[in-house]
Amino acid sequence: MSGFSQRAKPQKFRDKLKARQFVITAEITPPVSCAREDLVALARPLVGSADAVNVTDGAGAQPHISALAAASILAAEGIEPIVQFVCRDKNRIALQSDLMAAATLNLRNLLILRGDDPSAGDQPDTKPVFDLDPVGLMKTARGLSDHGELPGGRKVKGRADFFLGAADAPIDPPAGWKPQGLLAKMNAGAEFVQTQFCMDAEVLARYMRRLAEHGIPEKMHFLVGIAALKSARSAHWMRERLFGTIISEEIVKRMESAADPAAKGRRIAIELIEQYAKIPGVAGVHIMGPSNGETIPEIIAQVRELQRV
């Protein structure tokens, strides 16, 4: 076991959310590798930094080290993982087996997702499964965790104690809009939410007010997606290519005029986190860096320092 695993274990993700403390999560895409150290090297900078770390499951519809294996390794190295479960690749039998495996490995935080379409990956002829949708998989995980049984009524030995999460993409809600999809996930058993990139405080405030009208922030902990922007070009690419991404025009202009775009991107992320911490219903942020992940520990460190002031 590597040296950094000897540090104190981080506070539990679920406990911190339930205590209404502001939470910061990050994300790791397991490498295309058969070497454990390649995975551990990605995680090392986040030890003692992020409150929990997402482990992606076949991100970009491409093969990587499996999410379950990667999450188990990271947990042994002192990081609390959030394991992504996608519906794309497996039928319900395999997904139920993986849920039992997660419980056996003491992996409690699960993020239930649809998964990127295979046409977006490097093997576009791959056949998608989608035997269950995220709501169906959420109900399955909830039944296993709460009642110790599978959908057919078969009892399962041992105990699964899952903390279930769902994905969301904030919008600037028009008149009459209702969060039907998010309500369905909540009713299926989701307890926390991590969103797509939303880098516009005014849009987010309006969105959270609309969710509050439906009682969602009272029942689910809401973590907002933030990007560690590297350049104006990456900001444009994200807005155009990543579904559901919101980046305000003001932020794009600031990145375009920056003498040091990477430093400006870090500054913008910190400013947004400070603003989001004051928006009612926002429980934390989920920082992702599609091309700039190495800056995430620095961003978290600066935010933590501001929190102590």
202 Cβ contact partners less than 8 Å away, ≥ 6 residues apart: 248
- Per-residue tokens: 243: 């579904």
- What pLDDT does 251 receive? 97
Asked whether residue 262 carries a pLDDT value surpassing 60, the answer given is: yes
- What pLDDT does 305 receive? 87
Q: pLDDT confidence of 290, banded at 50, 70, 90?
A: low
Which helix (H) or strand (E) segment holds residue 139: the answer is helix 134-147
Q: What is the mean pLDDT of residues 17-36?
A: 96
- Per-residue tokens: 174: 């028009």
Residue 101 φ/ψ, nearest 5 degrees? -65, -40
Residue 180 φ/ψ, nearest 5 degrees? -60, -45
CATH code reported for the domain at 3-168: 3.20.20.220
- β-bridge mates for residue 199, sequence order: 247
- Most confident range, picked from 1-5, 145-149, 229-233, 300-304: 145-149
User: Is 228 in contact with 302 (CB distance < 8 Å)?
Assistant: no
Q: What is the mean pLDDT of residues 5-22?
A: 76
Give the tens place of pLDDT for each residue, 204-214: 999 999 999 99
Q: What is the mean pLDDT of residues 263-292?
A: 92
Asked whether residue 11 carries a pLDDT value surpassing 90, the answer given is: no
* Range scoring the smallest mean pLDDT among 101-110, 140-149, 229-238, 275-284: 229-238
In this predicted model, which residue has the larger pLDDT, 243 or 13?
13
Structure letter (DSSP) for residue 61: G
- What pLDDT does 291 receive? 58
- What pLDDT does 309 receive? 59
Asked whether residue 3 carries a pLDDT value surpassing 50, the answer given is: no
Q: What is the mean pLDDT of residues 136-145?
A: 98
Whole-prediction pTM: 0.93
User: Domain-by-domain residue ranges, the chain?
Assistant: 3-168
CA 264/CA 95 separation, integer angstroms:
42
User: Is 98 in contact with 85 (CB distance < 8 Å)?
Assistant: yes
- What pLDDT does 227 receive? 92
Q: What is the mean pLDDT of residues 170-194?
A: 97
Structure letter (DSSP) for residue 300: H
Q: What is the mean pLDDT of residues 246-268?
A: 96
User: Is 197 in contact with 225 (CB distance < 8 Å)?
Assistant: yes
Q: What is the mean pLDDT of residues 69-94?
A: 96
- Per-residue tokens: 222: 């809401």
The mean pLDDT of the chain is 93
Burial 158-178 (b: 16+ CB within 10 A, else e): eebebbbbbbbbbeebeeeee
